[in-house]
A and B are shown apart, each in its own frame.
Chain A
Amino acid sequence: MTAVIDEPTTRKVRGWAAPPRPVWEEAPTRAGLAGKGIVLVLACLAVVFPLWIVIVTSLSTRRTIDEAGGLVMVPKDITFIAYQELLSGGQVTRAALVSIGVTLAGTLFSMTVSVLCAYGLSRTDSLGHRWILMTLLATMFFSAGLIPTYLLVQTLGLTDSYLALILPSAISVFNILVLRGFFMNISQELVDSARIDGAGDFRILWQIVMPLSRAVIAVITLFYAVGYWSAWFNASLYLNDQNMLPLQNVMIQLVQKQEAPVGLGQAIRTGQLSGLAVQMAVMVMALLPVAVLSPFVQKHFKKGMLTGAVKG
């Protein structure tokens, strides 16, 4: 009797197998299961199918694409010629490097500033704590507006500089609050004992607080990195030099305005390479990093969402 009742109700079995149902739960009907399965599969297909087409077309030869009359659904004669062409120098290579550079530098900068600030605000009785917190929080309620911000960046002389892609959007107050929420929950005894042993604040942050907050730091890093990787508007606003544009902006020109990438016209004209495959390859380059990285952090996403509520 008790053995049956003690069956796990929290459902923490790993793997593909279904954990045992609690005894009080009715067995599901076949129709119900089938209905749920179909909806779930359709929802997932809605995401996967377009990506599949894009990836397969980017790997297709000119002939396969012509035979299919455009986009390719079934892979045949896989070729990497589009990627080879795009990555052998020229506009897209440069744009990809720009995007990678801005993303790495920007994320490092954003994380440093955010983690420091979150730790600096993690003690509710510290000097000026309340004022600083209010100053940050208030920015979640208003925005100065596009035009004044534009004029400011111009006045600061950041136009045509990569700093214009990093500084104006470098920190998200929300992310700082999430980090702070985690830092505040770290056992005070631990921090105090480190202090008694002579550790300063920087050392406590680096050796105690950060290692204990790895999960949330991973999530916030991903959020910042995705933000930089996906950004295009600031570049369109502040960069006049075509050669400085990041990948997203080049993708706009390629896919939306159907322009061939500079320096690639030759390969397309000679007929080895389909312009469509080139477009799709650029799209794959834009989606690959996030598609590869985000699942690793997936189980911690929740941590980056819920502690936004402000304490203190």
Chain B
Amino acid sequence: MSHSTVPRSKAEATKPVEEPAAPGDAAGPPDAPPRGKQGKRGKLSLRLRYRRDRVLLLMTLPAVALVLVFHYLPILGNVVAFQDYDPYISDNGVVSILNSPLVGLENFQRIMEDSAFWNALKNTLVLFFLQLVLFFPIPVLLALLINSVIRPRVRAVAQAILYLPHFFSWVLVIAVFQQLFGGAGIFSQLLRQNGHDGLEVMTNPDTFMFLLTAQSVWKDAGWGIIVFLAALASVSPDLYEAAAMDGAGRRRRMWHVTLPALRPVIALLLVLRVGDALTVGFEQILLQRDAVGPGASEVLDTFVWWNGVRNQDFGYAAAAGLIKGVVSLGLVLAANKVAHLMGEQGVYKK
């Protein structure tokens, strides 16, 4: 009976054929093709399964169509990376592609010799590591703090406040920072009224990467605690009690009970973040690129944007984008591999 109450457990879903239907399971009418009874799969003809599932197929159709058109179809457009693409031939991209000359790897050669590209790569990696070191620990610590607050109302209010900036747009976040730290911001205002110079953090190229990190922390560190809070909530209070009975104080309970509960989540998030290493702060930087200049702010994504959208050098930009895309794909797959090796689930299952 327990089989039929939990019909879609992982084991059944992955190995449907090997799982024989439990003897007392044939509750449904035998003539209708039963769905959800895993044991019968494979015995039905394709035509019967189509007749049974066509409504489900129909339901997935809009999403599949959108994904095919807007995620898969553009992959073909990467052919531009091997062309001297001329956007002025036609408004229709296909016509332009067909009429632009192929130039082989010329765009890639140019990129390899372009110091701006290497600068963008450097900035990307610097920002990635900076965020890893300065951003990543904060949600963990905040979650531990919130978790130790036992008054439910206090906890709910604090969570509501800390989650809020996650829902703000980058435009708004940067505007808020402008009001705080900008040349006309509140802190500059207070400093000037007391006879000091105003702040120039918003336009200072040297500290720009730290500014970006601070903005990310303000926007998303609070949101990041949700995952950790969930992990903490799943720890059985009995474990704490047992540890306390064995003489463990607060600190040792934290070390031996709380942290082991967080370890898998932390590991998984770290791995996934590494897989996403080359995608950092696109919108955020684009909004502030003019203020600090490309030398300090350009990352790979903005490099592509600048060369393609602004300079209309589509072949060159697409080539840079393709390099980034391919390396990213490798990183994501490697990161998931590592997650699996560590016994975690990753984005997909083995």
Contacts and interface: CB of A to CB of B under 8 A. Distances in A.
B115 interface: no
Contacts of B63: 113-114, 116-117, 136, 171, 176
Interface stretch (B123-131, B144-152, B204-212, B254-262): B144-152
B64 A150 contact: no
A50 B176 contact: yes
A1 interface: no
Nearest to B238: A9
Given A54-B176, A151-B93, A176-B63, A22 B237 contact: yes
Nearest to A51: B176
Interface stretch (A88-96, A125-133, A264-272): A125-133
Contacts of B158: 40, 43-44
Tell which of A12, A201, A237 has the most Cβ of chain B within 10 Å: A201
B38 interface: yes
A121 interface: yes
A125 B38 contact: yes
B169 A22 contact: no
Contacts of A128: 53, 57
B172 A251 contact: yes
B26 interface: no
B22 interface: no
A308 B178 CA distance: 36
Given A127-B52, A128-B57, A147 B304 contact: yes
A162 interface: no
B78 A290 contact: no
A262 interface: no
Interface in A164-205: 167-168, 170-171, 173, 176, 184-185, 188-189, 191-192, 196, 200-202, 205
A61 B18 CA distance: 75
A145 B162 contact: no
B119 interface: no
A221 interface: no
A47 B73 contact: no
Contacts of A226: 167
Contacts of A116: 59-60, 62-63
Nearest to A250: B171
Contact of A312 (B14, B70, B308): B14
B108 interface: no
A63 interface: no
Contacts of A26: 249-250
B169 A140 contact: no
A69 B189 contact: yes
Interface in B32-64: 35-36, 38, 41, 46, 49-50, 52-60, 62-64
A263 to B, nearest CB: 21
Given A117-B60, A148-B78, A291-B164, A256 B175 contact: yes
A251 B175 contact: yes
Contacts of B38: 124-125
Main secondary structure of the interface of B (DSSP, over half): helix
Q: Which of B179, B287, B333 has the most CB of A within 10 A?
A: B179
Interface string B219-239: 000100011011000000100
A17 B154 CA distance: 9
Interface in B283-341: 283, 286-287, 301, 304-305, 308-309, 314, 317-318, 321-322, 324-325, 328-329, 332-333
Contacts of B180: 50, 53
Given A124-B8, A290-B167, A141 B333 contact: yes
B94 A69 contact: no
Contacts of A18: 150-151
Given A40-B149, A298-B159, A120 B317 contact: no
Contacts of B7: 188
A283 interface: yes
Nearest to B95: A155
A169 to B, nearest CB: 8
Given A71-B186, A301-B226, A201 B348 contact: no
B324 to A, nearest CB: 8
Contacts of B159: 298
Nearest to A149: B74
A233 B283 contact: yes
Interface in B147-198: 148-154, 156, 158-165, 167-172, 174-176, 178-180, 184-186, 189, 192-193
Contacts of A176: 63
16 contacts: A43-B158, A123-B36, A127-B53, A135-B72, A143-B328, A148-B321, A150-B309, A155-B94, A202-B55, A230-B170, A249-B171, A252-B171, A286-B172, A294-B163, A294-B164, A302-B230
Interface of A: 9-19, 21-22, 24-26, 36, 39-40, 43-44, 46-48, 50-51, 53-54, 68-71, 73, 112-114, 116-117, 119-121, 123-128, 132, 135-137, 139-152, 154-155, 167-168, 170-171, 173, 176, 184-185, 188-189, 191-192, 196, 200-202, 205, 222, 226, 229-233, 237, 248-249, 251-252, 255-256, 279-280, 283, 286-287, 290-291, 294-295, 298-299, 301-302, 305-306, 308-312
Given A50-B179, A302-B226, 16 more contacts: A25-B240, A40-B145, A47-B161, A70-B184, A117-B62, A119-B56, A146-B308, A147-B80, A151-B96, A154-B91, A154-B93, A171-B63, A229-B169, A249-B171, A305-B226, A311-B10
